[in-house]
Chain A
Amino acid sequence: MRGRSMRLGGAVLGAMVAVGPVLTGQALAADKLKVGFVYVGPVADFGYSYQHDLSRKALAAAMPDAVETTFLENVPEADSERSIEKLARSGAGLIFTTSFGFMEPTLKVARKFPKVKFAHATGYKRSDNVATYSARFYEGRYVCGKIAGKLSKSGTVGYIASFPIPEVVSGINAFMLGAQAVNPNIKVKIVWVNTWFDPGKEAEAAKALLAQGADILTQHTDSAAPLQEAEKQGKLAFGQSSDQFRFAPKAQLTSITDDWDGYVIAQAKAVRDGTWKSSDTWGGIKDGMVVLAPFTNMPDDVKAMAEETTKAIVDGKVHPFDGPVTKQDGTVAVKQGETAPDPMILGMNWYVKGIDDKLTP
């Protein structure tokens, strides 16, 4: 903005009349709320950062006269403080830091800029001007588990997992509980690839799981390679992060996608209205933060069951971690008639009964 007005000023040097419009333009720009986004990956990753950038575009479209958006992509977590501070210095009023590893840098910059509001995704530390938000992906995984339990002919489902952190472990458990709800003998084979994104390795993991008798794949990694492998071998699979139907039109059953539009727009509105307060938001299917892509490649009765389950979760009638939930070692984690409290899900470091894998501490 500044560069443009300077160039304008240079072009009409001497013509003092031009100063008027330029100044008005600047005043208008100052009126707008600047909203910055910091992404850990490229906006073109067709996964996590891509979905986040969709919400930035949605915000720009929803409040074109009130906000001005900007973003920084491929920001390494270890070196993010500089980038966040840059946004704060350049006059941003609201900054979304979208990866877990941005937590401490966000808090540090927030202390330096008490007037700037921050929203940090998937973290757990807040302050007066730092809010946190995340999505209840496990709700989607429970629905996927039920679909897989119904559709698997071999009775074995393959699960490609990234890192043994609570978000991933609770996803595996929710998937297993969903699958067990329709087929108590279902088996879930887990392969840890120790990466969020490596198409080659994810494809190899998919091949290994299919070779071991899995006929449905699900993943907690970000590339479409496992879906493609399932498509190639005539098997079924679930997508991840965004709707990956185009990669596997014959294999994708549904995809657990993130939708941050509502949250991002609400935060920007609150800052504009002066009503913003630091808060913790953990939204699920009900809040529209977790969206299941259209149910495809399945018979109508399974589709109906999936839709019913989704609705029951929205209505609060079903919670993936409704008791009784038994841990792998046989101890009861959630009693009959109770539901797992949020802190338990956020810190989950154990498997439910029936999972044939060990979590190394």
Chain B
Amino acid sequence: MTLDIVQMVLVTVLAAATPLILAAIGELVAERAGVLNLGVEGMMIFGAAVSFAVAMQTGSTLLGALGGAGAGLGLAALFGLLTVGLAANQVASGLSLTILGLGLSGLVGANYVGIKRDPAPQLAIPGLTDLPGIGRLLFGQDAFVYAAVALVAAVSWFLWRTRAGLTLRAIGDDPIATHALGLKVRRVRFLSVLFGGACAGLGGAYLALAYTPFWSPGMTAGRGWIALALVVFATWRPLRVAAGALLFGGATVLQLHAQAAGLGLPGQLLSALPYLATVLALVLLSLGGRQGGSPAPAALGRVFTPSR
């Protein structure tokens, strides 16, 4: 009984962390290439609306998820055109992308309010899924959760084990020098932004197709912003993004369980915990920065115009 409750809590923690992992891992890649996209919340909610609309029209969760990722990618392409192509200010463009995404999502989703859908199917392997204690946790999740885990591993491998990853990180640190070396700064940055958008859209799709399978305006409820904080908290490292997302999601879920169990812990304090942790991480970062360089990509947020 107790073991089952522990497993159930862990399953819900993982579920709460999944949209954060998806959105944050994409943003991490964009920021590693030196582009700060503050439009995560907008891409996420637009992804949620489009994924639900596509899934309702086609009846396919997979197509819905792809639609959501495509929607995020589309918005990101617009952002990329502005900031990478036209060298517009990244902060201003990102913020307007959020507003645009929120508006578009309301438009797309208007006809789908108040409709429910069956949640995305969960893995069921006879024998394994029923294992006591760990079965549901390891073998009973939906595809989004496995995709999130795989993405973290893939991005981590890509950034530190491939030549292209090295190029991407170098561009994020010094676009001028890398440009002088003949590397395609703007192309890499644009592709990174697209990847970030697709991931954010997928995170939104997870919310509308699996987590709470319906569409409702504003349903991301600030998760895009948490994902942005998460990237900083994780000092731009994929595995730490996953750990941080579990911590952020875990703090939310655990405080709800603590309340339900009547442990008498102050809920407000527990709700604030992830943000306190982010502040703490920032303090530690700047302390570490004094000794040997900041872990942030050196050219983060700076627009690049190639000299002719």
Chain A residues engaging chain B, CB cutoff 8 angstroms? 41-42, 44-46, 158, 189-195, 197-205, 207-209, 211-212, 214, 223-225, 228, 232, 246-247, 356-358, 360
CA distance A212 to B2 in the complex (A): 11
Stretch at the interface among B60-68, B239-247, B249-257, B278-286: B249-257
Q: A204-B12, A208-B260, A211-B5 are in contact. Are A44 and B217 (CB under 8 A)?
A: yes
Stretch at the interface among B109-117, B125-133, B168-176: B109-117
- The number of A-B residue pairs with CB atoms under 8 Å apart is 108
B211 close to chain A: CB less than 8 A: yes
Which residues of B lie under 8 Å from residue A41 when comparing CB positions?
Answer: 217-218
Offer 19 A-B interface pairs, CB within 8 angstroms, sorted by A. A41-B217, A44-B110, A45-B113, A191-B260, A191-B267, A192-B259, A195-B221, A199-B214, A200-B212, A201-B221, A203-B211, A204-B16, A204-B256, A207-B12, A208-B257, A208-B260, A212-B260, A212-B261, A228-B212
CA distance A212 to B259 in the complex (A): 10
* Interface pair B110/A197, CB less than 8 Å apart: no
* Interface pair B216/A199, CB less than 8 Å apart: yes
CA distance A199 to B116 in the complex (A): 13
- The smallest C-beta distance from A53 to any residue of chain B, in angstroms, reads 12
Q: A42-B218, A203-B211 are in contact. Are A191 and B256 (CB under 8 A)?
A: yes
Chain B residues engaging chain A, CB cutoff 8 angstroms? 5, 8-9, 12, 16, 19, 106, 109-110, 113-116, 119, 207, 211-214, 216-219, 221, 223, 252-253, 256-257, 259-262, 264, 266-268, 271
Given contact pairs A44-B106, A223-B216, A225-B212, a sample of 7 additional A-B residue pairs in the complex whose CB atoms are under 8 Å apart: A42-B218, A45-B218, A200-B16, A201-B221, A228-B213, A247-B116, A358-B264
Which residues of A lie under 8 Å from residue B106 when comparing CB positions?
Answer: 42, 44
CA distance A146 to B217 in the complex (A): 33
* Interface pair A198/B221, CB less than 8 Å apart: yes
User: Which residue of chain B has the shortest Cβ distance to A198 in the bound complex?
Assistant: B221
CA distance A211 to B258 in the complex (A): 11
* Interface pair B212/A199, CB less than 8 Å apart: yes
Which residues of A lie under 8 Å from residue B218 when comparing CB positions?
Answer: 41-42, 45, 197
Q: A194-B267, A194-B271, A201-B252 are in contact. Are A45 and B216 (CB under 8 A)?
A: yes
Which residues of A lie under 8 Å from residue B259 when comparing CB positions?
Answer: 190-192, 208, 357
User: Which residue of chain B has the shortest Cβ distance to A356 in the bound complex?
Assistant: B262
- The smallest C-beta distance from A236 to any residue of chain B, in angstroms, reads 17
CA distance A225 to B117 in the complex (A): 12
Which residues of B lie under 8 Å from residue A192 when comparing CB positions?
Answer: 259, 267
CA distance A189 to B110 in the complex (A): 35
- The smallest C-beta distance from B304 to any residue of chain A, in angstroms, reads 36
User: Which residue of chain B has the shortest Cβ distance to A227 in the bound complex?
Assistant: B116
Q: A45-B217, A199-B219, A228-B214 are in contact. Are A189 and B262 (CB under 8 A)?
A: yes
Which residues of B lie under 8 Å from residue A198 when comparing CB positions?
Answer: 221
CA distance A204 to B221 in the complex (A): 14
- The smallest C-beta distance from B159 to any residue of chain A, in angstroms, reads 29
Give the one of B19, B113, B212, B252 with max A CB within 10 A.
Answer: B212
CA distance A123 to B38 in the complex (A): 36
CA distance A201 to B221 in the complex (A): 9
Which residues of A lie under 8 Å from residue B211 when comparing CB positions?
Answer: 199-200, 203
CA distance A209 to B211 in the complex (A): 17
CA distance A193 to B19 in the complex (A): 19
Which residues of A lie under 8 Å from residue B114 when comparing CB positions?
Answer: 46, 246-247
* Interface pair B214/A193, CB less than 8 Å apart: no
* Interface pair A224/B260, CB less than 8 Å apart: no
Which residues of A lie under 8 Å from residue B207 when comparing CB positions?
Answer: 199-200
Ranked 4 nearest A-B pairs via Cβ? A199-B212, A198-B221, A208-B260, A44-B113
- The smallest C-beta distance from B104 to any residue of chain A, in angstroms, reads 13
* Interface pair A224/B16, CB less than 8 Å apart: no
CA distance A202 to B109 in the complex (A): 21
